[in-house]
Amino acid sequence: MAVPGRQVPTGAPPELVDSELFAVDAYLREFDSEVLDVDREQSRVALRRTAFFPGGGGQPYDLGRLRWDGGAADLTRVKRDGGRIWHWLGAADLPSDGAEVEGVLDWERRHLTMRTHTALHILCGVIWTEFGVAVTGGNMEPGKGRLDFALDAMSVELGQRVESRINEEIAAARDILVAFVGREVADEDAALIRTAANLIPREIDPLRVIDIVGLDKQADGGTHVLSTSEVGRVAVTGTESKGKGNKRIRLEVRD
């Protein structure tokens, strides 16, 4: 395994290391690449490699800026489409096919997203440790998010207890590791059962696994910080019942 941003994770497929830079180095802020394709109708380009996260698993896509010889434009969207990661540009002029470009992430937004995503994993680990129940849904944006759990009951008092436990885990400064695990190994790992790994398409092999050491271990494609201590303080801002056996916890990340 490897900590995100320090070394290439164990088992990472070479083609992914060369193309999806966000998956192996969450702390990369700038990168160079070549334009593989230009879609002028939709004002978007596909790159040979990218550090911009394309969205997925509840985590929003990254924003930032592309620069090239004779031009520059802000990103308005990043998304997988047709087997490629496309970058929508808020400009009429686009780089040409084959052009060299420089990508610069909106780092403040990305880092807040990483902190928020990790906070949600800490929440998941706390609920799993306390109640042994799985996540049934979730979503996030930079700075705040929510998870739904298969809990029978919810209360303000439970939310306060969970907030305290999350901040204890943040203070514990647990390392966060990344590895790529083959499907056969993942299927036999009881620690991954909370992720419903069997619902992830079989063609995704190996699975990328995020391990908050001693607390939470999940198949996950998003970006995370190096240690729980980097998250900062978390506040539980809401608890809701979404029906029988489905309870929601909302949180915010604060400095």
CATH number given to 14-105: 2.40.30.130
Task: Centre a 10 Å sphere on the Cβ of residue 70 and count the other Cβ atoms it contains.
Answer: 9
Q: Report the Cα 178 to chain-centroid distance in Å.
A: 12
Please report which confidence band the pLDDT of residue 3 belongs to, taking 50, 70 and 90 as the band edges: low
Residues 6+ apart with CB under 8 A from 40: 94
pTM of the entire predicted model: 0.93
Is residue 34 a contact partner of residue 46, using CB atoms and an 8 Å limit?
Answer: no
Q: Contact at 8 Å (CB) between 86 and 64?
A: no
CB–CB of 164/203 below 8 Å? no
Give 203: exposed, middle or buried? Use CB within 10 Å, 0-12, 13-18, 19+. Answer: exposed
Residue range 114-173, pLDDT digits in tens: 999 999 999 999 999 999 888 888 999 999 999 999 999 999 999 999 999 999 999 999
Measure the CA–CA gap between 87 and 64, rounded to whole angstroms.
10
Q: What is the pLDDT of residues 160-176, one digit of tens each?
A: 999 999 999 999 999 99
* Mean pLDDT for the stretch of residues 97-109: 98
d(CA 136, CA 151): 10
* Tally of CB atoms within 10 A around 173: 11
CATH number of the domain at 110-254, please?
Answer: 3.30.980.10
pLDDT for 177: 94
pLDDT of residue 49: 98
Q: Which of 252, 254, 253, 249 is nearest to 159 (CA)?
A: 249
> Which of 221-246 are b and which e, b meaning 16 or more Cβ less than 10 Å from the residue's Cβ?
bbbbbbbbeebbebebeebeeeeeeb
* Helical spans, DSSP H, in 23-80: none
User: What is the separation, in whole angstroms, between the first and last Cα of the chain?
Assistant: 29
Q: Mean pLDDT, to the nearest integer, of 83-92?
A: 93
Give the domain ranges of the chain: 14-105, 110-254
